[in-house]
Amino acid sequence: MEPAVVVEGLSKRFGRIEALRDVSFTVAPGQTYGLLGPGGCGKTTLIRLLLGVLRPSGGRAVVLGRLVPSPATAAVVGYMPQLPALYLELTARENVSFFASLYGVHSRTAVDETLALVELADRADSPVSTFSGGMRQRTSLACALVHRPRLLLLDEPTVGVDPRLRATFWAYFQRLNEEGVTIILSSHVMDEAERCHRLILLRDGRLLAEGAPAELRSRAGTPTLEEAFLAFAGDGV
């Protein structure tokens, strides 16, 4: 089966700052693939390179069989940014409908079904300005899902949400995987990393290690991913 994403020697510079350094990995379809590391390690830059909104300084990315950037690929990719890009004066339904229209989806049923998936059906006609942080996260996720993407790119999707909602998100991610949707998400939360099929550990734009969570712990000889990260980074345990 053709990989969903292939990254080969991907690098990105911003002037003198080397945000990403020669990163390579492959993502199988229907998996959740985690980008794990502290703030400033290159996670968001990597996601934006996969989206095609940034041009690489070196290397290349192939997404769903097409070299990035590709308009054809963009139509079947969903993106949830770390900070919700929502229109606060509009309702949840209006926000999701707007983003749906950008992908050529004009079905109210599709919008309503997506709002129900993220448990916002009862607040669909409320202005987003009246929402809590967690509700805005759910609205942002609905905007990324409404066109039924084959690849979902999520930048810190559970930041600011409560434990129950976090569990709900992950249960839905698993359902998407079972339907064949590939998910790439960034996180700095180690217990979330355990839920991913595979991970890359990033620090200062460098790839420290890649593999399944259990594999990474075994290779590092540590009981937790946090300790494994420190071991791969050379910081000790």
Structure token digits, residue 39:
């703030």
pLDDT exceeds 70 at position 236: no
∠ CA(182), CA(137), CA(71), 5° rounding? 45
Handedness of CA 167, 145, 74, 137 (dihedral sign): negative
Q: What is the pLDDT of residue 158?
A: 82
Instruction: Calculate what percentage of the chain has a pLDDT beyond 90.
Output: 76
15: left (phi over 0), alpha (psi -120 to 50) or beta: left
Q: What is the pLDDT of residue 24?
A: 97
Please give the backbone phi and psi of residue 32, each rounded to the nearest 5 degrees, phi first.
Answer: -105, 120
Confidence bin at 31 (pLDDT 50/70/90): very high
Neighbours of 44 (CB within 10 A): 18
Question: What is the rounded CA–CA span in Å between residue 116 and residue 114?
Answer: 5
Q: Which residues pair with 206 in a beta bridge?
A: 203
Question: What average pLDDT score do residues 154-181 get?
Answer: 87
Higher pLDDT, 192 or 32: 32
Structure token digits, residue 144:
């990324």
- The overall pTM is greater than 0.75: yes
Please give the backbone phi and psi of residue 125, each rounded to the nearest 5 degrees, phi first.
Answer: -105, 20
Confidence bin at 43 (pLDDT 50/70/90): very high
CATH match for 1-76+149-237 among 1.10.10.10, 3.40.50.970, 3.40.50.300, 3.90.1150.10: 3.40.50.300
pLDDT exceeds 90 at position 197: yes
Question: What is the rounded CA–CA span in Å between residue 188 and residue 37?
Answer: 5
Q: What is the pLDDT of residue 30?
A: 97
Question: What average pLDDT score do residues 101-106 get?
Answer: 91
Find out whether 61 and 7 touch, Cβ atoms under 8 Å: yes
pLDDT exceeds 90 at position 217: yes
| Residue type at position 168 | T
Q: What is the pLDDT of residue 66?
A: 95
Question: What average pLDDT score do residues 107-130 get?
Answer: 94
Note the helical H segments in the chain: 43-51, 71-74, 92-102, 108-117, 133-145, 163-178, 190-193, 213-220, 225-233
Whether residue 223 has a cis bond before it, omega within 30° of 0 = no
**Residue 43: strand, helix, or coil:** helix
pLDDT exceeds 60 at position 224: yes
Question: What is the rounded CA–CA span in Å between residue 163 and residue 126?
Answer: 24
Confidence bin at 190 (pLDDT 50/70/90): confident
Averaged pLDDT score across all residues of the chain: 92
Q: What is the pLDDT of residue 237?
A: 43
Which residue in 57, 73, 58, 78 sits closest to 185, CA to CA? 78
Beta-strand relationship, 182-187 and 198-203: unpaired
pLDDT exceeds 80 at position 179: yes
pLDDT exceeds 50 at position 125: yes
Q: Which residues pair with 63 in a beta bridge?
A: 5, 66
